[in-house]
Amino acid sequence: MTGTLKERIAKVHQRIVAACRRAGRDPSEVKVVAVTKMVAAEHLTDALNCGLTVFGENRVQEFLKKYEAIGKAAEWHLIGHLQSNKAKYLVGKVALIHSLDSLKLAKLLDKLSVAHGAPWRVLVQVNVSGEKTKFGLSPEEVPGFLDAVQDLPGIEICGLMTMAPYEEDPERTRPVFRSLRQLRDEMARSRHYLNLEHLSMGMTNDFEVAVEEGATMVRIGSALFSDYYN
């Protein structure tokens, strides 16, 4: 990885702008979630000073350490699988959970929403590719799941999230992202009362394809921070 953090951020933004242009989209529709996992807390102020505002962590323990360091200076997103017994540690601290993947977790978050001070904003994680190693609902499970969580006032579903399999050629991830967008569109058509605005999809290797396919949030780690990994 070369260049300063500032240069790497600029480069990522340029690539998002170019992908938006190819797809006829407005770049202001795409939010960068800077994935700070494996980055030591002491580097987070650099990231803030360079203009990054939204940080994503995939593990609760690591998130809490960093939250202790900088607190609400950043908007925090939980992007990885959340075990039900850890949900309580996120109360009042995270702006969005990208990885809602079970009714059990939804019910627990619903109960914690009073302490949280608001309904939890969440995305439903969908395992589009069907890889055994990945969390998330199968696409077929999503309609029933949305109907089941509809009754929980402490949960506000804001959209869908997926992780594509790693591909040497990122173009090969396109069908995964397109399927998620189509699923979102179908669900929005059949369930007008839901606001499924967001599609969290795309990482360092494949974010341009994801943006072309409609991502509103890209989760970028190594393209920004690999110099800081130990």
Residue 79 binds ligand PLP (CB under 6 A): yes
Cα dihedral across residues 200, 206, 212, 218: positive or negative = positive
Residue 173 binds ligand PLP (CB under 6 A): no
Instruction: Give the nearest distance from C-beta 101 to ligand PLP in angstroms.
Output: 12
Angle among Cα 132, 135, 137 to the nearest 5 degrees reads 100
Nearer to ligand PLP, 62 or 186 (CB): 62
**Listed residue (167, 160, 100) closest to 131, CA to CA:** 167
* Segment near ligand PLP (CB under 6 A); pick from 9-17, 86-94, 179-187, 197-205: 197-205
Backbone angles phi, psi at 69, to 5 degrees: -75, -45
Nearer to ligand PLP, 157 or 220 (CB): 220
Rounded CA-CA distance 137/52 in Å is 30
Rounded CA-CA distance 154/116 in Å is 9
Backbone angles phi, psi at 206, to 5 degrees: -140, 15
* Segment near ligand PLP (CB under 6 A); pick from 112-120, 131-139, 142-150, 203-211: 203-211
Nearer to ligand PLP, 113 or 225 (CB): 225
Nearer to ligand PLP, 110 or 212 (CB): 212
CB closest to ligand PLP, residue no: 221
Rounded CA-CA distance 141/160 in Å is 13
Task: Report DSSP state, residue 166.
Answer: P
Residues 31-60 that bind ligand PLP (CB under 6 A): 35, 37, 58
Cα distances from 13 to residues 19, 119, 166, in angstroms, run 10, 31, 22
Of the residues 122, 152, 163, 210, which one makes contact with ligand PLP according to CB under 6 A: 163
Residue type, 86: K
Of the residues 90, 183, 203, 211, which one makes contact with ligand PLP according to CB under 6 A: 203
Residue 129 binds ligand PLP (CB under 6 A): no
The site for ligand PLP (CB under 6 A) is made up of 35, 37, 58, 79-80, 163, 203-205, 219-223
